[in-house]
Amino acid sequence: MMKSNRTAPLPLDACIGLTGRTLNGQYRIRSLLAQGGMGAIYEAEHVATGQRYALKALHAEAARRDEIARRFEREAIAMQRLAHPNIVAVLDVGAVEDGSLFLVMELVRGPTVRALIEAGPVRPRRALVIARQVLEALAHAHAHEMVHRDLKPENAMLATVGAPGHAYEQAKLLDFGLVKLLGDAAAELGGDKITRTGIASGTPAYMAPEQALGRKVDGRVDLYSLGITVFEMLTGVVPFRHADPLTLMRMQCAAPIPSLAKVAPGRPFLTPALEHLIARALAKQADERWDSAAHMIDALDEAFRSLDHLPPEP
């Protein structure tokens, strides 16, 4: 049976805020940026330098749940090993008085890809530029034997970087809370002893079939999730939709892959190269997908070039 191992969210009265406190004598918590069932992200200021950071901490009750605490610790260790312009950098790790960890990360100001999609279908060239940057981030993570496993529009932010007049949009991959460690990384950092075989981890609307079935995974599950994200950026909807998570995971495993042209008929940007990019990313069998982020980048570049022969975008 396909199951999801997501822990039930905590009641709001279990969320103990940190605003106004100073952690480890270094980080003054200025404001709450975002909050979920398991934890919160704050804007923090270094008391000595005045530098602003994003600080991610578990709620006190969540920190007492062993599985959640171990996942958070593994995320901290994993992200400290990654250094890439398209991955949110973890700069420090500390502990709150109750013993739970917090992460100090670069502060990224900008919308998520989710907010971009909610504003309407994304122009194809912009969608492909964002996707290419995320692929660069995935290539870096995969080279360090880490599989993200929860790539979705909420977990990619869009920062504006560069000097005025020369600024550009930079995608930033975040939230490695479900990271899967492989090979030497698993041996060095203790591997993935939290997720049990036969239990699915991730977000059903973006899960690869083998992930939904709780089977062994590798970096190709991230390429599948990115394929769905690009599909959603271009059309405004994900390819598979259902209110029931288990039914949705079964659709990932067995439902035919809809083409972009079927979901968004009459759109001039639906070139064969773009259809091929998405169709292969969403292949049901991992062996039929792009075998690496680098090869998917090559196909994405070809799809981008195929847009040059189309009329200018409105």
**Tokens 């950071």 appear where?**
53
For residue 311, with 0-12 CB atoms within 10 Å meaning exposed, 13-18 middle and 19 or more buried, which class applies? exposed
Is 150 among the catalytic positions?
A: yes
Residue 76 is inside which H or E element, if any?
helix 66-80
Quote the DSSP letter at residue 308.
G
Q: Which residues pair with 32 in a beta bridge?
A: 42
Active-site residue, from 150, 175, 192, 222: 150
Residue 93 is inside which H or E element, if any?
strand 90-95
Beta carbons within 8 Å of 311's beta carbon, 6+ residues apart: 268
Q: Is 181 helix (H, G, I), strand (E, B) or coil?
A: strand
Asked whether the beta carbons of 286 and 220 are under 8 A apart, the reply is yes
Q: How far apart are CA 230 and CA 116, in angstroms?
A: 12
The set of catalytic residues is 150
